[in-house]
């Protein structure tokens, strides 16, 4: 049975502040730590609770493990590491996805969990997607990274940020907070993307998320351009996989300053 009543979803900045495990969500909101924080701040913060849904990750070894937030979450027992070829029954955040994550995925995430593919966008040709098995690969909409390594860069979300973004968008806001409360800089991901996250989480379908994304001033013109090129169907699916919508460690060809992406600092 869905655990709707067991999840107290925080709404708005004030509620998020109350839900933050240490009660300090708003402090220094928008500031990032230093690159050293990636290596030293990953211990669980006081009062942090475990996510209520299963989290998992395929680690393809393409990034610096000392800086990988996904690796840290695995070490903390918050995320289960998957083997190539191992099937995951829940939602998978993957560059191979053709549909944007949305509230349509909430029940599946609650029941079966959420997984990420920890890989580098500029090494997609090296990723054996045929061995990453699951029925629900998904992409993330446009957001800005707040991790110390890639702070302020569009799309370059860490694994932890990718988990938190998908959970938030699907209505599991306290679980998103639980993930990010394990990092000293975690609050800045929410303060940086607050309006976008609220906008996306209010969308009932993948198509609505794509429409909401196109209204973002920083990405709207380019998104409308790619939609005119036929990249998206009316249902919110990508007609051309691996392009247009951002995923962990990626940047699309139309993003300002695009470099092809990197999983560094993930």
Intra-chain end-to-end CA distance of the chain, in Å? 34
69 is annotated as contributing to ligand binding: yes
- HEC string of 27-58 equals CCCCCCCCHHHHHHCCCCCCCCCCCCCCEEEE
Count of C-beta atoms within a 10 Å radius of residue 230: 9
How far apart CA 75 and CA 182 sit, in angstroms, is 12
117 is annotated as contributing to ligand binding: yes
34 is annotated as contributing to ligand binding: no
Residue 261: CB partners within 8 Å, gap ≥ 6?
Answer: 120, 121, 122, 155, 156, 249, 250, 251
37: Cα separation from own chain's centroid: 20
Indicate the annotated binding residues for S-adenosyl-L-methionine: 69, 117, 140
Indicate the annotated binding residues: 69, 117, 140
């Amino acid at each position: 049975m869905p655990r709707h009543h067991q999840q107290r979803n925080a709404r708005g900045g004030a509620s998020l502040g109350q839900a933050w495990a240490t009660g300090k969500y708003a402090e220094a909101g928008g500031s990032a730590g230093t690159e050293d924080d990636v290596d030293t701040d990953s211990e669980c913060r006081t009062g942090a609770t475990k996510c209520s849904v299963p989290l998992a990750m395929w680690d393809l070894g393409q990034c610096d493990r000392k800086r990988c937030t996904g690796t840290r979450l695995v070490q903390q027992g918050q995320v289960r590491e998957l083997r190539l070829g191992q099937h995951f029954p829940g939602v998978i955040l993957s560059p191979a996805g053709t549909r944007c994550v949305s509230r349509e995925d909430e029940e599946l995430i609650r029941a079966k969990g959420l997984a990420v593919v920890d890989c580098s966008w500029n090494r997609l040709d090296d990723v054996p997607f045929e061995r990453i098995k699951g029925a629900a690969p998904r992409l993330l909409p446009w957001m800005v990274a707040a991790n110390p390594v890639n702070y302020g860069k569009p799309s370059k979300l860490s694994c932890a940020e990718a988990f938190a973004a998908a959970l938030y968008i699907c209505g599991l806001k306290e679980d998103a907070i639980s993930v990010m409360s394990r990092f000293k800089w975690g609050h800045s991901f929410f303060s940086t993307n607050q309006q976008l996250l609220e906008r996306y989480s209010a969308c009932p379908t993948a198509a609505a998320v794509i429409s909401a994304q196109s209204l973002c001033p920083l990405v709207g013109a380019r998104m409308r351009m790619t939609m005119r090129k036929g990249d998206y169907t009316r249902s919110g699916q990508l007609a051309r996989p691996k392009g247009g919508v951002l995923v962990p460690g990626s940047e699309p060809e139309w993003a300002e300053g695009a470099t092809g992406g990197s999983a560094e600092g993930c």
